[in-house]
């Protein structure tokens, strides 16, 4: 009977050890799952931060392009205004010389005096 009792105790001991190993394995598996979830969460956080930075960079680049386009439009408008002013000046000059009022187109001062001298020489000569 001692051997049966001893075998029974040993069987109980082995069963307890098996249960303990199973519990330890379960706890280890849960820890590994938690670590993996934490790693995935960290990875997702880093990825989200990278996307955020990339979106900010794209927005900044788009804003710079818009500002550059605006500047180019302003420069084009200024060039057009300058060309229009030059065209109008030439048109006034041509209109003045056709109507015989060249003095108005030339203005006043030394140029007007030279024109008067030339006209006087023509009449005298």
pLDDT tens digit at each of 125 positions of the chain: 578 888 889 999 999 999 999 999 999 999 999 999 999 999 999 999 999 999 999 999 999 999 999 999 999 999 999 999 999 888 888 877 766 544 445 556 777 788 888 888 888 86
- Alpha-carbon torsion, ordered 5, 9, 12, 14, to 10 deg: -120
Name the 3-class secondary structure at 101: coil
∠ CA 58-60-55, nearest 5°, is: 35
Q: Model's pTM, two decimal places?
A: 0.46
- Cα→Cα distances 37→31, 33, 44, 46, 49, Å: 10, 6, 10, 14, 18
């Amino acid at each position: 009977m001692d051997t049966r009792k001893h075998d029974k105790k040993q069987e109980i001991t082995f069963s307890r050890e098996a249960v303990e190993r199973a519990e330890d394995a379960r706890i280890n598996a849960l820890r590994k799952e938690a670590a993996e979830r934490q790693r995935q969460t960290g990875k997702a956080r880093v990825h989200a931060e990278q996307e955020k930075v990339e979106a900010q960079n794209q927005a900044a680049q788009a804003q710079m392009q818009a500002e550059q386009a605006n500047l180019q439009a302003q420069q084009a408008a200024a060039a057009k205004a300058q060309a229009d002013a030059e065209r109008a000046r030439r048109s006034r000059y041509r209109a003045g010389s056709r109507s015989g009022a060249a003095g108005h187109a030339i203005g006043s001062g030394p140029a007007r005096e030279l024109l008067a001298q030339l006209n006087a020489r023509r009449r005298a000569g």
